[in-house]
Each structure stands twice: as structure tokens, then as C-alpha cells.
């Protein structure tokens, strides 16, 4: 099916490349559909920012580290900083969602403040990795959802001082999440997760190169079998499958943002054969690279 692909490019440190707001108000408000991403999936990634997510329509599978959860419409999650997570749609369902991704400093304030030292920093460094609305008391889940809507409304209206309204709403969400996750294990990544992040970050910087599973495994100093097991457990796809996802995502960006030829884009994204690139692109995106460019550029 033809669709307008959305991309999620991961930078060398595993961070999403989209800039959050402005340097003095680092926050991003997103309204998207998981179905619009390549393979209907947002692959495993992490970021130093906090994220509150609400699924508005459909059903998605959430991957957090080596755990899986199914989210129904109306449910929400809050993910701590630098926690590996990803999403995919379930069956033929859509995955329309809204999310707020924000730097912890928005609620922590000045470095060294009581908000920073006693509340926010201990949570981002050692708090629970994930909060799910479906696993908390109904009244708490409703309060979090209400605060989320308040933040979104403030962002869209942008009335004078709307930043204060957003900060107040996010602070309320944070306190509710913090209280609800106090009994969770500390946010300490396993050795496997750290090795996987090494490999993902390396792939994000080297997807243009000729790469095999052996090279990917060597980055983390593990065997090919271990490498394949790590990707299967945490990413839910093979190492080469993840590499292909990165390459095609980069290709969609170049097709829209540059005037490079299809051959040049294929080579820039790690494909030796432009014809194979075109074949794989059409299979995964639903359009040929040329048709995709024409459709997106109008």
C-alpha cells in the first residue's frame, strides 16, 4: 500500500535526530501514526529526554528493553531517559499517537536546585525505566492523562506564558509517575543492553559502509550468535534487518531533502546496486524511489 513514510533516524549516540523545540525550551510535541513508519515500526532507540506517550487510536506493541507490552487506544506510557524502547502496530490496526518528549531541565530548573537534586536527577539516573497507565490505579492514570491534555492544549494555543502551563502539567505527570514507580527496579541497563546500544550507535554512523553481521558483532566484542540473539531479544529484528531499516530511512530523507540522483542516494545509503536498492525500497515502502520523491515533493 502506498503511504507517506515517516522516518526516525538515530544519531551516533542513539538519539533521535529531530531537534527538540529551542535550546531554552527543549520540548517536542508529536502527532503521528506508527503505521506511517517504514515496516509500520519505530525501531529500538533511546534518548536522554523523558517521554510521555498516549495512544489515541489502534493497538501497538511496545518494546522496552527485553520486555513487551500491548497498548490499547487510550492507554499511555512514560519512559525514563536513556531507556531502550520501540513500537510496532499490531495486525491491521493503526497506531495513531501523541507524545511529548522533553529535556528533564524543564521540570528540574537550575542545576543544583531542590527540584533537580531531590526529585528529577535521582529519577533519571536510578528511577524505574517505565510507567504504564494500564498497570497503575485508575485515578492516577486519569490524572496523568488530564495533565497530558493540558500540556497539549497549552502548546497549541500558545497563550502568553503557555510555557508555565506546560511546565506545571509535566511536573504533575512526573510526580505521579515517580510515586507510581518507586517500587520498580532501578534503571540500570544490563551488559547486554549496553552492548546492543554500542552496536546500534555504530550502525547509525556506518550504515553507508559494506557491513556484515561479523562486523556488527565485533563492535561489541561478542560472537555472531550473541549479536543475533541480542537483536532478536531487544530489537525484534535481525542485525541486517535493522541495518536495512536505517538505510531505507536515510534514503527517504535524501529523496525529499536533496536533488541527488537515485543512484547517488543508493550508494550514499550503503547499496552497491541501485537496482537492488530500488527493488528493496519498493517492497518496504510501497513506491519506487522516483515515485516516492515525486509524491512527497508534489
Which domain range does residue 235 map to? 191-297
Of 150, 154, 269, 157, whose CA–CA distance to 207 is shortest? 269
Residue 276 belongs to some domain of the structure: yes
What pLDDT, on the 0 to 100 scale, is given for residue 24?
A: 86
User: pLDDT tens across 77-89, in order?
Assistant: 999 999 999 999 9
CATH number of domain containing 147: 2.60.120.280
Q: Are residues 172 and 196 in the same domain?
A: no
pLDDT computed for residue 77 by the predictor: 98
Q: Are 291 and 275 in contact (CB under 8 A)?
A: no
Question: pLDDT per residue over 169-221, tens digit each?
Answer: 999 999 999 999 998 988 888 999 999 999 999 999 999 999 999 999 999 99
pLDDT number for residue 198? 94
pLDDT at 16: 52
233 and 157 in one domain?
A: no
Q: Give CA angle at 65 (63, 69), nearest 5°.
A: 30
At 19 the pLDDT is 59
In a domain, 150, yes or no: yes
**What is the domain-level CATH number for residue 275?**
1.10.10.60
Four-point Cα dihedral 145, 106, 102, 19, nearest 10: 150
Q: Please give the Cα distance from 29 to 152 (Å, whole number).
A: 8
- Position 5 in a domain: no
- Phi/psi of residue 62, each to 5°? -100, 130
pLDDT tens, residue by residue, 99-139: 999 999 999 999 999 999 999 999 999 999 999 999 999 99
Q: Are residues 115 and 231 in the same domain?
A: no
User: Are both 161 and 202 inside the same structural domain?
Assistant: no
Q: Which of 155, 177, 145, 170 is nearest to 31 (CA)?
A: 155
SS3 of 188, please?
Answer: coil
Specify if 31 maps to a domain. yes
Please indicate, yes or no, whether residues 103 and 244 belong to a single structural domain of this protein: no
Instruction: Identify whether 293 is part of a domain.
Output: yes
Return the percentage of the chain with pLDDT > 90, whole number.
84
Which bin fits 117, alpha (ψ -120 to 50), beta or left (φ > 0)? alpha
Has residue 156 been placed in a domain? Answer: yes
Is 9 among the domain residues?
no
Rounded to whole angstroms, the Cα distance separating 260 from 274 reads 13
Q: Are residues 34 and 170 in the same domain?
A: yes
In a domain, 118, yes or no: yes
Same domain, 38 and 165: yes
Please identify, among 180, 200, 221, the residue that sits at the C-terminal boundary of a domain: 180
Q: How many domains does the chain have?
A: 2
DSSP state of 49: S
The CA distances from residue 24 to 52, 112, 116, in Å, are 20, 18, 17
Q: Same structural domain for residues 224 and 257?
A: yes
Question: Average pLDDT for residues 285-296, to the nearest whole number?
Answer: 92
pLDDT tier at 296 (50, 70, 90 boundaries)?
confident
Buried b (16+ CB within 10 A) or exposed e, 148-177: bebbbebbeeeeeeebebbbebbbbbbbbb
Distance in angstroms (rounded) separating the CA atoms of residues 4 and 45: 22
pLDDT digits (tens, 9 = 90+) for 15-43: 454 556 677 899 999 999 999 888 899 99
Q: Report the Cα 153 to chain-centroid distance in Å.
A: 23
Residues 96 and 162 in one domain: yes
Say what the pTM is: 0.89
**Could you give the C-alpha distances from 106 to 18, 49, 171, 172, 257, in angstroms and in order?**
18, 10, 9, 12, 32
Amino acid at each position: 500500500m502506498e503511504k507517506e513514510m515517516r522516518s526516525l533516524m538515530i544519531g551516533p549516540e542513539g538519539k533521535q535526530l529531530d531537534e527538540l523545540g529551542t535550546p531554552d525550551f527543549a520540548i517536542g510535541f508529536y502527532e503521528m501514526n506508527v503505521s506511517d513508519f517504514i515496516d509500520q515500526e519505530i525501531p529500538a532507540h533511546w534518548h536522554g529526554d523523558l517521554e510521555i506517550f498516549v495512544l489515541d487510536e489502534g493497538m501497538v506493541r511496545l518494546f522496552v528493553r527485553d520486555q513487551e507490552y500491548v497498548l490499547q487506544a487510550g492507554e499511555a506510557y512514560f519512559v525514563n531517559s536513556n531507556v531502550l524502547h520501540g513500537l510496532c502496530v499490531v495486525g491491521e490496526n493503526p497506531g495513531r499517537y501523541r507524545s511529548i518528549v522533553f529535556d528533564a531541565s524543564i521540570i528540574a530548573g537550575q542545576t543544583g536546585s531542590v527540584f533537580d537534586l531531590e526529585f528529577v536527577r535521582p529519577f533519571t539516573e536510578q528511577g524505574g525505566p517505565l510507567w504504564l497507565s494500564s498497570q497503575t490505579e485508575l485515578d492516577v492514570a486519569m490524572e496523568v492523562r488530564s495533565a497530558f491534555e493540558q500540556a497539549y492544549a497549552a502548546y497549541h494555543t500558545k497563550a502568553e506564558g503557555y510555557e508555565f502551563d506546560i511546565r506545571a502539567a509535566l511536573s504533575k505527570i512526573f510526580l505521579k509517575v515517580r510515586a507510581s514507580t518507586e517500587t520498580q527496579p532501578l534503571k540500570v541497563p544490563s551488559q547486554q543492553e549496553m552492548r546492543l546500544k554500542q552496536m546500534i550507535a555504530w550502525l547509525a554512523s556506518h550504515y553507508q559502509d559494506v557491513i556484515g553481521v561479523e562486523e556488527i558483532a565485533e563492535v561489541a566484542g561478542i560472537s555472531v550468535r550473541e549479536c543475533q540473539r541480542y537483536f532478536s531479544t531487544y530489537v525484534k529484528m535481525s542485525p541486517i534487518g535493522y541495518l536495512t531499516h536505517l538505510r531505507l530511512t536515510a534514503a527517504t530523507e535524501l529523496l525529499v531533502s536533496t536533488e541527488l540522483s537515485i543512484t547517488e542516494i543508493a550508494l550514499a545509503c550503503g547499496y552497491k546496486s541501485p537496482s537492488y536498492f530500488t527493488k528493496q525500497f519498493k517492497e518496504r515502502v510501497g513506491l519506487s524511489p522516483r515515485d516516492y520523491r515525486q509524491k512527497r515533493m508534489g
